[in-house]
Amino acid sequence: MENINIQDLWKQNEQLLENTRKLNGALLREVKLDKAKSSIKGLLFLPVSTLLFYSILASYALYFMVSHWGTWYFMLAGGAIAFFSIWLVITSVQQLKRILSLDYDAPITKLQKKLAELKTAIVQNLRIAAYLLPFGPFVGLFFFKVVFDIDLMNVLNYNMIVSFGIVTILLEVLSLGILRALRSKNMNKKWLNWLLLGSGNQVNEALQYLEEIEEFQVEA
């Protein structure tokens, strides 16, 4: 009789411990998911501000290109800025869609995958900037014409025009190097996470919270 009571008490104790683990796991999941949501919510400013700014810039660049139709370098400058601005608008819409469609009730591994995809989408902004680099001198032409109403091509002498071409080539080489560094295999590199500080590191924070949930589940 005494042995039976001890066994019953042991089973009750095990059941109590199991219920406690489940409760702790549920509480931890809720707390960490709330923190992950808060981190991702702070990320919304990036795609929203990018969308608004580059929508305006794309519109003006197209107007600039049409207004200076016939002047090849202004047409190229306006066209390039409009193209890359529209590209950034498209990626911003995609990022917003990813953020707003996140299902925090999904399994942790699935949510981790979605956040990793979101991080890759954010890094796409850096890749677009790298693609724009070779057009840097033309961006300069655009800037001086818009802000100071100065046509630099009428001011530059032969040597400066040659320097203009050399800078374009160097920026193209730099662009290729940056694009190579921003490949998917480098997504977790410290230098890339540093570049994303304030405009993408929220994803890393959210992933860290999910990792803590996963570790608890494994240990339990």
For 200-219, what is each residue's pLDDT tens digit?
678 878 878 778 777 766 65
Please report the pLDDT score of residue 25 as a whole number: 64
pLDDT at position 130 is 85
Q: What is the pLDDT of residue 21?
A: 67
List, for residues 40-90, the tens digit of each pLDDT value. Answer: 888 888 889 999 999 999 999 999 999 999 999 899 999 999 999 999 999
Phi then psi for residue 141, to 5 deg, are -60, -45
Residue 220 DSSP symbol:
-
Write down how long the chain is.
220
If residue 205 lies in a helix (H) or strand (E), which one and from where to where? helix 201-219
Residue 39 parent element (H or E): helix 2-41
Under 8 Å between Cβ of 40 and 202:
yes
- CB atoms inside a 10 Å sphere around CB 158: 7
Q: Is the dihedral of CA 87, 90, 96, 97 positive or negative?
A: negative
What's the angle, vertex CA 141, arms to CA 135 and CA 142, rounded to 5?
Answer: 90
Specify whether the CB–CB gap between 102 and 171 falls below 8 A.
Answer: no
Rounded-to-integer distance, Cα 91 and Cα 179, Å: 17
Domain residue ranges in the chain: 2-219
pTM over 0.85: no
pLDDT band of 152, cuts 50, 70, 90: confident
Distant-in-sequence, close-in-space partners of 55: CB < 8 Å, separation ≥ 6: 85, 89
